[in-house]
Amino acid sequence: MAAPALELKGITAGYGRIEVLHDVSLAVPAGTVYALLGPNGAGKTTTMLVASGYVRPTAGCVHVAGSHVNRVAPENLAKAGVCRIPEGRGIFPNLTVNENLRMFTYSSPFSTGEVQEKSYARFPRLGERRNQLAGTLSGGEQQMLAMSRALVADPGILLLDEISMGLAPKIVSELYELVGQLAQDGISILLVEQFARTALAVSDYAAVMTGGRIAMVGQPADVADFVNEAYLGGAA
């Protein structure tokens, strides 16, 4: 069996003296979608930051496709195929849509032309606004632009952090359609989401985090039952 696309082994990490993650281990098998659920402050985003090299773990190790990457700089991890779409809008507001796409070519195997072609084919609305400053796009369009990076980066592992945040349900389902498509193309995805049901619908595996620990790992159906408890005061 091939090495997992992403594996965290016994990760302890935090900010300054405050430890946020305590001995977190998880493995995203190649070609699967893995949902990471949990209440606010559970450490989901920190897990993402560790996986993409922004937060250095104080213990444990991060493996990407079998390679140890603990001390690799974020930009080099990005080039090596770890693609994180951050919480909020992962775009440059003062660059035009075209220029934003050009930025994506740093971690993409495609040329600027190909990147634009692929993105505009998938999101025609972006094509209509190609010379507009990204900051003037609507929330949904901005998230589409951010997701375009996932589309063109051809990532080894895609980290999606709450892509539904603050968006209309219609746009959320549109974005999740893309997630399903990327998964079908065989891209491994680690997904952090507030809406458990939306996330579980597209995932192969799921884990629940509470208080900086993995509370449960399993099939989406099993996790669904556990989730309510964890969200609604299982930790309390």
Partner 1 sequence: MTVEFIQLLVVGLVTGCVYALSATGLVVTYTTSGIFNFAHGAIGMLGAFTYWQLTVGWGWPAWVALPAVLLVLAPLFGGAVERVLVRPLHGASVDVTLVITLGLLLFLLGAANYIWDPATSRVLPELFKGGGTSIAGVNLSRQQILIVVMAIVVALALRTLFSKTRIGIAMRGVVDDPDLCAMSGASPARIQQLSWAIGAALASLAGILIAPKVGLSSLQLTLLVINGYAAALFGRLKSLPRTAVGGILLGILVEMYPVYISPHVPGFSDTAGELTKAVPMIFLGVLLLFLPSARLRTSTAAGRIAPTVPGLRQSLVGGVALVVVAVVLTGLLSSDNLGIATSVVVLAIALLSLVLLTGYSGQTSLCVLTFVGLGAWAMGHSGHSVLGLLWGALLAGAAGALVALATARLRGLYLALATFAFAKGMDEAFFYFHLGSGQQLEIKRFQLLGLDTQSPSTFFLLCALVLAVASVGVLAVRRGRWGRQLTALNDSPAACATLGVNTTITKVVVFTAAAAMAGFAGGLYGSSRGIVTNNDFAVLGSLALLLAVRVGGINTITGAIFGALTITMFPEIQKHVHGLPDKLQLAYLLTGLAAVSVGRDPDGLGGQFSKLGHYLRGLRTPPQSASGAPDFEEARLVHS
Residue ranges in contact with partner 1 by CB under 8 A: 16, 52, 54, 73-76, 78-79, 83-84, 86, 90-95, 99-100, 102-107, 112, 149
Task: Tell me whether residue 15 is exposed, middle or buried, using C-beta atoms within 10 angstroms of its C-beta: 0 to 12, 13 to 18, 19 or more.
Answer: exposed
* Least distance CB 230 / partner 1 (angstroms): 29
> Mapped to the 3 state alphabet, what secondary structure does 132-175 carry?
CEHHHCCHHHHHHHHHHHHHHHCCCEEEEECCCCCCCHHHHHHH
Smallest gap, in angstroms, from Cβ of residue 64 to partner 1?
Answer: 14
Nearer to partner 1, 81 or 220 (CB): 81
What is the DSSP track for 202-217?
Answer: H-SEEEEEETTEEEEE
Which residue, 97, 123, 133, 124, is CA-closest to 112?
Answer: 97
Nearer to partner 1, 76 or 219 (CB): 76
C-beta of 57 vs 220, nearer to partner 1: 57
Residue whose CB is less far from partner 1, 90 or 220: 90
Instruction: Report in angstroms how near the CB of residue 227 gets to partner 1 at its nearest.
Output: 29
Least distance to partner 1, CB of residue 233, Å: 30
Residue 231 Cβ vs partner 1, minimum distance, rounded to whole Å: 29
C-alpha to C-alpha distances, 160 to 33, 63, 83, 134, 226, nearest whole angstrom:
11, 18, 8, 20, 22
Two structure tokens written together for 95: 């660059």
Nearest to partner 1 of 86, 220 (CB atom): 86
Residue with smaller CB distance to partner 1, 95 or 217: 95
Burial of 117 (0-12, 13-18, 19+ CB in 10 A): middle
d(CA 192, CA 211): 15
At closest approach, how far in Å is the CB of 54 from partner 1? Answer: 7
Q: Which amino acid is at 51?
A: A
